[in-house]
A and B are shown apart, each in its own frame.
Chain A
Amino acid sequence: MSATRIPPPQPAQRVGAAPKKHEAKTPSEEPDFRSQLDAWLESHRASLVDSLRRLAKQPIGSFFTCLVMAVALSLPMGLALLLDNVERLGGSWQRAAQISLFLQIDASEAEGQALREQIGAMDEVAEAEWISREQALDEFQQQSGLGEALKELPDNPLPGVVLVTPREIDKVTLEALRLRLAELPKVQQAQLDLLWVERLTAILNLGDRFVFGLSLLLVMALLLVIGNTIRLHIENRRTEIEVIKLVGGTDSYVRRPFLYMGALYGLGAGLLAWLLLAYGLGWLNAAVIRLAGLYGSDFALAGVPAGDGLSLLLGAVLLGYIGAWLAVARHLNELQPR
């Protein structure tokens, strides 16, 4: 039929043998390490290109799959970033937490100043401020609206106060400092209001747990989305998979293009989620800056840090890969040549 001859087949005793290195090929055919590496790389490159081509063939479907995954990724990530910002804001408030030392009513101005200097020199104290009895009365008259009534009093009833700003905001440390300051001479009472700090911390802890729970749920949803998408791709390529298995394709060979596809979906979703978060936080930031300005603060939301963005990308790629792996593992055995 044809004049062209190719070399005769290799001995039949190789039939069914696993590819042992010494007998997989005759010496003349034995490819060197470089050729094997090139062939392996070429196989991966071909799988990647094929996966890209298939995604590009259905641009709208691929985009919406990525978008659904991106929304699932950006929800917990966005909440986590907002919580980070609230913690940052809370941290600045906590630093403003102060211990008020009310001195005995007979403490003099000089004693108050000396006490302020003594406390200010302590390691745990960032700053100490002295408010004399007269200053305290002035402030109270201005802020309470009881100015006229207070003028009727025969003596100033307010004590001098030393406002202490601690370096540490840990509850235990603060309480220890309060007790120590309460022991100082001329101190009548040392007051520390930690309740709001505790409440804020509790709210942030609750938020952290909520984000963690939501993340778990959305990771599961994401795995289902990618798993279902890959399952459809597998169904569409049923014949191809059967033929590949029939001509000697291993499970890993069959699995490879789907894993690339899952990772590519993850990459697309990660990039979209990053974009969504960056634009979303930027959009919110304008309102936050305006609100903070009304309170005399220059607080602004931080954007998506590059490290977090890269983690998001990596996590998304990994999730896509795992989702695809699970889907292929589940369906591969069902696809046997008929």
Chain B
Amino acid sequence: MIKFEQVGKRYPNGHVGLHELSFRVRRGEFLFVTGHSGAGKSTLLRLLLAMERPTSGKLLLAGQDLGQISNAQIPFLRRQIGVVFQNHQLLFDRSVFDNVALPLQILGLSKVEIGKRVGAALERVSLADKAEQFPSELSTGQQQRVGIARAVVHRPALLLADEPTGNLDPRLAAEIMGVFEDINRLGTSVLIASHDLALIARMRHRMLTLQRGRLIGDGEAV
């Protein structure tokens, strides 16, 4: 599903974000990308979201070369990807329901369909009773779960998460990871960038380790 072939990312100021990275991700796979700050985890996610383009090599997502994708195609690419951020990126002037409904409104689904899907997504993250509340009325863990509901409500083929448990205590972090595993069991590929090695080790999934933009490890976390 994802294929990195000698992918490099060099910024105009000379800084190298990624250095000839090569790996593959199968459809329905669950994997972590780990490494210290500045290792290139976020750059990798930004490349997958077409927020940046590789400066060398070939990056394929479901057969599509993200180095060659046109600007007009980018929104349609992103509609097939769900993304979860450490800081949630919720809209605080909209209710939980409206936050989660946003990707479906963009897809142009009917009100009835949106209602059904948002309800199901909130149910999955155990927030069905918070639909009418605003994000500011929720705890950090609940806000993160709203972010996850928004990321999966449009049934993406790929879910990306950038340090999704960074602000959460261990119990909440484990709970959130459980949600990701639930989603993965339904067939969605999940790629999580995290530096929480203890948590990753407990999950026993494939782990890519980056260091200064280079891939230095690829195997099951132990």
Q: A residues bordering B, Cβ < 8 Å?
A: 1-2, 4-19, 31, 35-36, 38-40, 42-43, 46, 239-240, 242-251, 253, 336-337
- Residues of A contacting B103 in the complex (Cβ-Cβ under 8 angstroms): 247-248
Q: Which of B62, B108, B111, B125 has the most CB of A within 10 A?
A: B108
Are B62 and A239 touching (Cβ within 8 A)? Answer: no
A13–B117 CB distance below 8 A: no
Beyond known contacts A14-B62, A14-B157, A15-B1: 11 more, CB 8 A cutoff:
A1-B124, A2-B125, A4-B123, A9-B186, A15-B61, A15-B64, A15-B81, A15-B158, A16-B76, A31-B113, A248-B77
Choose one: A12, A40, A239, A246; the contact of B189 (CB below 8 Å). Answer: A12
* Complex Cα spacing A31 to B113, Å: 10
B interface with A by C-beta (< 8 Å): 1, 27, 49, 51, 61-64, 66, 69, 72-73, 75-81, 83, 89, 91, 102-103, 105-111, 113, 117, 120-121, 123-126, 150, 154-158, 175, 178-179, 182, 186-189
B157 adjacent to A9 (CB under 8 Å): yes
Residues of A within 8 A of B150 (CB): 247
Determine whether the beta carbon of B110 is less than 8 Å from that of A38. Answer: yes
Measured between beta carbons, the chain B residues less than 8 angstroms from A13 are 62-63
CA A297 to CA B130, docked complex, whole Å? 75
Measured in the bound complex, the distance between the Cα atoms of B188 and A7 in whole Å is: 11
Shortest Cβ distance from residue A334 to the other chain B in the assembled complex, whole angstroms? 14
Instruction: For the complex, give the distance between the alpha carbons of A256 and B91 in Å.
Output: 18
10 A-B residue pairings within 8 Å (CB atoms)? A12-B158, A15-B62, A15-B157, A16-B76, A16-B80, A39-B108, A40-B108, A43-B105, A248-B107, A250-B106
Asked if residues A6 and B155 are in contact (CB atoms below 8 Å), the reply is yes
> Bound state CA distance, A243 and B135, in angstroms?
15
- CB of A8 within 8 A of CB of B89, answer no
Chain A residues contacting B175 (CB-CB under 8 Å) are 1
Q: Compute how far the CA of A38 lies from the CA of B179 in the bound complex, rounded to whole angstroms.
A: 34
- Pick the most buried of A9, A38, A243, A336: most chain B CB atoms within 10 A of its CB: A9
Q: Is the CB of A12 within 8 A of B186?
A: no
Task: Flag if B155 contacts A9 (CB, 8 Å).
Answer: yes
Q: How far is the CA of A242 from the CA of B51 in the complex (A)?
A: 11
Contact partners of B113 in chain A: CB under 8 A: 31
